[in-house]
Chain A
């Protein structure tokens, strides 16, 4: 956590001369005018710095918001949803998500989000990067996880003992580290299974000694003084030889822990993520995918794997166990738990159509209203930011001081702020030559992005 004097220095730097418009020769009068009133931005400039990790659970396919986080009851509501008003005043589908209902004091909801994309590929890209897909820049834009890992590294917040990569990704994403160095490439479920030598450490050491012998290019073999391996081999070796790595990543897919989390790949991912965070070896951003929420048909009645009930049950069991385990684990600061230091964000890429079901018994893509669940990392539980109208069709009350709905760059800003990352930073050195903004100032017209302070 950074000192307040540093934060003040940051503020002074940020306050002076915002020449953004000039840099791009773009003199939009509205933009220039807004930049002039610096005083109003004061509070929003300082990263909140309440978390050191972020877990982003991506409900891939986009869940129906009115059946989950923004419950709306109507003639379509099946009994399986189990409508309940929780002690925190939140209307909740306790039939679908019973365990989370019991933990209502630990999470908050944002119900006033809208997005500008309604097609999966583009909308998911938007969620992964906080910016709209520009095919010309596709190769260079990094996932926000890679940027987080990068920022921690270059701010000196990565320690000697941090052997694991900063960005972990479980399940697939469209984006990786983009133009950032390969150190910030995602580390995934196919990599963690390669950490433990299948025939044991002794065998690994034995063959590594041969490699070291060959890599020592001086003519005299001097024991104990060796050439470093190429950088990534060094990193890999450090992880392999780190005693916590074996226990962190050796998760039995069919074992008791995964079963406690609900069984299946999503539970496996959550257990891996929990272990990785507890190991405290430098992984700061973990993206976890749960697939199958794209319920265009039979949303309530699909009895097979992947229906709302099944996915809801998996999410409910897994996320609850995850919150419990993180809350029970100590943080790095006395008095704080790992849950206190980990911001959890759970959301999909857009909402789904409201009211009566479509003719296939499902709901279709809907960008005008969607919700997110946030917990930990400084988020105060039991709050609801914003509200949609009675049908859940559009944002009625944005829930914050800015007179517009919450947009995805605001979610990204909130994440960076919680992690103590200065989200106004701009990086040079992209292949296209365009400066790279941590938060794209042009994602939605010339709209500025803000953190959702009401969560904290």
Chain B
């Protein structure tokens, strides 16, 4: 197999030596060039870098993973390779039309279609956060219905596991965690709200509006979202203006995909010229116009709870944003300029009508804005296709979006496929912000259904942001844990903070505080494990805390060590070791016994383990190799351990 070429790391040393044309301070701003270091080592990758680097990294990870996938069975017909042009012209899916048109323009051959087996596992994970059971997979493979893809997708969307998965996803987006000083009741309300919303496929603009405008007790409505940023500001002992600024930052980042917080401290000029054109031309006063929409929010707390207090927001119609603070108070430089009217001018809107609650006006301005639709469509695209059309997904530059008014050189339009992003945004808006419709559009596109494998001799780095092949993603923390539990048949039982009844998957847990010890509730050792151990495992796989530490799905040394040697989560599920002196009797342990008593044979045991762990059948070559290697009384355990350490376990490919 070809060696994989790693990305070379680019180093800028801040010297006139490398930037001779930028010495003059009066010169018009241009993007700083980067200089390759004289010492470049493959290990020195910058992981979460610029959009181009993120694309390259995603492609490299894809190549590394697919290099380890089994070779196709000898004798299987090679997958048909359709031309990009043909795919663009014959599909009625707008994603296909645009992706394949872009590939055709550059004469790039798309990957072949993924096999049924690959597609089934992929879409189950992406839509429901868990793999198909062996029966579900077999049923799909044996199904001869030409519409089986559509029917599968329709079954998965709205299913209980779907609701678990997407509540988790929306929870990452919408601060579903216990806020500092707060009670789990607030968080748990958000949990039930989101589950309900997903079950009913509530339009996303209504969800956004609910979160932005809610007034009242946070255990009776989605007040948590604004609570955290405002708490963060006020905890510093700062002025209320800081709290309004933070609320605005979080709202704009979440719903418009713009990281505007920079200009809450200073005008964009002199700071952002090489980072964000729109914000570079924007003023702090315009940011205050957004923040002023929150100035009629008064907050109180109900201190009668045993676990922190409940946030209560009220409307104070006389509340104003007074740009009048001193340097040194709170987190931001002093403000001047007097009372600021709520205004959406920063994003092309106008001053709010003073007769209504300004937060209602803000929610309307946001949800009516095309950027609202673009931002969400991009987030969802980044999820299903591993790489957003704008990356990172909350770094939109509004001065670089308009195809008819492109930015000045050397800038280019920000989206890697501007036409596609526009069409996705239009689609989402026209559908009345129907999340399920957007998901359907994405997973039923041929582009989504491409293989992640590619003839590496024909692959080029420049293909990376063009989706010529499906890009892999590492499973997220909850998927990994739940998949281990499922594969080993040691399912787990988990308690959540503030909820009496236990949960049966980590994906269904409300927040990053979970699982917890609950007084008087012990999890049975034969089917589950210490909550602290589960918690640590999830954290080490990058779950984050939905607040200061974002989720990370990067694979790491820590991941490798956990899957190799973690006793509680992995080894005691796979081997007949005791767990607190309790026998767990997982699938592999049962198979060891069955093999030794000859009530099953190697072939059958191998197939069973592959189907349960990797959601695919073993190839003939794999089976042959394993039969040769099979030895000892623990072979089924050894094999399942190996499968749990395979790339086709840890990744969705």
Contact = CB atoms under 8 A, between A and B. Distances in A.
A102 interface: no
Interface residues of B, number: 98
Contact of B561 (A194, A218, A427): A194
Chain B at the A interface: mostly helix, strand, loop or mixed? loop
Contacts of B271: 24, 26
Contacts, number: 263
Contacts of B26: 27
A185 B642 contact: no
Given A213-B625, A227-B68, A429-B53, A13 B25 contact: no
Interface string B24-62: 111101001010010101011111111001100000000
Given A19-B19, A182-B557, A153 B10 contact: no
B262 A19 contact: no
Nearest to A197: B565
B625 to A, nearest CB: 5
A214 B642 contact: yes
Interface stretch (B150-158, B197-205, B512-520, B546-554): B546-554
A403 B46 CA distance: 38
A133 B642 CA distance: 43
A198 B46 contact: no
Contact of A214 (B23, B41, B575, B646): B646
B369 to A, nearest CB: 21
A257 B642 CA distance: 36
Contacts of A427: 11-12, 46
Contacts of A39: none
A6 to B, nearest CB: 12
A232 B632 CA distance: 28
B49 A22 contact: no
A174 to B, nearest CB: 6
Interface residues of A, number: 87
B71 interface: yes
B436 interface: no
Interface string B400-417: 000000000000000000
B408 to A, nearest CB: 15
Interface in A6-40: 13-14, 16-27, 32
Interface in A53-83: none
A360 interface: no
A154 B37 contact: yes
Given A191-B561, A195-B561, A211-B642, A426 B14 contact: yes
Contact of A428 (B11, B44, B276, B331): B11
A123 B44 CA distance: 30
B135 interface: no
Given A25-B29, A181-B46, A227 B1 contact: yes
A233 B46 CA distance: 19
A248 interface: no
Given A23-B32, A240-B565, A427-B46, A206 B1 contact: no
B261 A136 contact: yes
A190 B536 contact: yes
Contacts of B74: 219
B557 A27 contact: no
B64 interface: yes
Contacts of B54: 431
A227 B647 CA distance: 13
A187 B558 contact: yes
A239 to B, nearest CB: 8
A199 B577 contact: yes
B625 A221 contact: yes
A198 B571 CA distance: 9
Interface string A141-172: 00000000010011110000000010000000
A195 B392 contact: no
Contact of B49 (A14, A209, A227, A431): A431
A32 B41 contact: no
Contacts of A209: 629
Contacts of B209: none
A187 B555 CA distance: 13
Given A21-B25, A230-B64, A432-B259, A426 B19 contact: no
Contacts of A199: 571, 575, 577
Contact of A425 (B10, B13, B637): B13
A207 B626 CA distance: 12
Contacts of A217: 1, 67-71
Contacts of B11: 154, 425-428
17 contacts: A19-B14, A21-B25, A23-B14, A23-B274, A154-B41, A156-B39, A179-B48, A191-B561, A197-B564, A210-B629, A215-B68, A217-B70, A227-B68, A231-B64, A425-B13, A429-B9, A433-B276
Interface of B: 1, 9-17, 19-20, 22-27, 29, 32, 34, 37, 39, 41, 43-50, 53-54, 64-65, 67-71, 74, 235-237, 246, 249, 259, 261-262, 270-271, 273-276, 331, 391-392, 395, 536, 540, 548-550, 554-562, 564-567, 571, 575, 577, 621-622, 625-626, 628-629, 632, 634, 637-639, 641-643, 645-647
5 closest A-B pairs by beta carbon, nearest first, are A17-B16, A236-B560, A429-B49, A27-B25, A211-B642
